[in-house]
Amino acid sequence: MAWNPIYALLLVFSTCIDYAAGMKIYHGTRKSRKIWLIASLISNFGMLFTFKYYGFFSREFNAGLTFLGVDLNIPEMDFLLPIGISFYTFQTVSYTLDIYFRKREPERNIFRLGLYVAFFPQAIAGPIERSTTLLPQLISPAEINPERIALGLRLMLWGFFKKLVIADRLGLTVDQVYGNPENFTGLDHLAATLFFAFQIYVDFSAYSEIAMGAAMLFGIQLMVNFDRPYLRTSIKEFWRHWHISLTTWFRDYVYQPLGGNRINEVVWIRNIFIVFLLSAIWHGANWTFVVWGVLHAGYFFLWHLAEVMWPRTGWAAKFIMLATPIKIGQWALTFTLVCLAWVFFRASSVDSAMYILTQILSVPGVLTLEGFWVGYNLVLISLLLLIEYQSGRRDKWLPVYKNSFPMRLGFDCALILAILLLGINTNNTFIYFQF
């Protein structure tokens, strides 16, 4: 509302539409239930399409007509993207779908439903919560106690450290190289791609942890959105632990209704490609995201094929399919494939991404980036991986907080000093604000 008060009406519109639709779906006949569900889906996704995708599709449609020699231009309008629209749209759609599938009753208090749609810690960039878990907490929040408040503040502190000290520092190198790829060598592009892989993870997981910590101050527990995805040894495991709130949303509301893996192999492959394509489009209106999604769908299918064939092959074939039977080889292969796909996610265009990949896979050249900051970034990444490896699941939090009070206090003070002395104090928003 600070820059466009009218956009706040989008939240009000979503809330009112789904409040009415939820009531009608729950109490209606079989036919009317479907009609109201469709009305809810068209209203929410229509709003999302208008503000996020209309400009892209209108340009591509006009380009296609011009290629065919048809002189018919539809209006091309680019709207300023409302902050968080992809997140709260999916959150409010899940509410009506839960009612339709009889997972919950409709919320009769429209203000409480509005709080669910616009709960401020996670409204802008998730996690994408479900009505079955968040709404009951809004009705009866957990008892607020000093221990929970302290944990919430520490979680926020850790998130700010990750964002300001690690993610934003990595972003300086990434922006430098990806902004002018022709000015750098293959080795520079390789370093920048590695740094972006960790920048986007640290940046997004930091926001999720700040949101979790802020919610804890009010007695609300949000879901864990990341669980050490870069320590996983397969593409399947990576996607089970990356952006968990989005992947489980597509699993529950798209993949499983389409039949999941309970049907024949051909239809299962179709379902996988549909889910990854929709996930790619969710991230933005650009062909780079589409290529990124298709790549991961292909990874997923090939990895599944390798697992199915594993018992039927000899050692040599296993080595080719999964790099090596040793876990570290599977991890290295998984991480490499994920990083290659990140090139398309970060690049400004498919052509730019192909150029960067060509540079990486050809003669690497020499490193022209400043050696000190490359080494500094590698130290930050190593520190992060070490902490995550030792800490286990993120919801169990850092092991240091299980130690004595002086140890906890010392760690907190170290994080604060690092933020003040090493943090990037410029106006760097979170990456996922653009989605």
Give the residue numbers marked as catalytic: 283
d(CA 24, CA 37): 9
The owner of tokens 């040793």 is 326
Of 82, 83, 84, 64, nearest to 74 by C-alpha is 64
3-state helix, strand, coil in the chain (%, to 5): 75, 0, 25
State the Cα–Cα distance between residues 315 and 200, nearest whole angstrom.
Answer: 36
DSSP string, 261-294: TSS-HHHHHHHHHHHHHHHHHHH-SSHHHHHHHH
Q: Cβ-count burial of 62 within 10 angstroms (0-12 exposed, 13-18 middle, 19+ buried)?
A: middle
Q: Taking a C-beta distance cutoff of 8 angstroms, is the pair 146, 153 a contact?
A: no
d(CA 195, CA 189): 10
**Contact 195/178 with Cβ under 8 angstroms?**
no
Which residue shows structure tokens 């190198």?
173
Residues in the chain: 435
**How crowded is residue 321: how many other Cβ atoms within 10 Å of its Cβ?**
16
Looking at residue 218, its amino acid is F
Q: Which tokens hold the place of 296?
A: 């991961």
Distance (Å, whole) CA 412 – CA 69: 65
Residues 290/293/299/304 CA torsion (nearest 10 deg): -130
Helices of type H across 310-349: 315-322, 327-346
| Amino acid at position 280, single letter | A
Do 378 and 195 form a contact (C-beta atoms < 8 A)? no
Q: Among residues 96, 117, 95, which one has the least CA distance to residue 9?
A: 117
Using left for φ > 0, alpha for ψ between -120 and 50, and beta otherwise, residue 56 falls in: alpha
d(CA 295, CA 289): 10
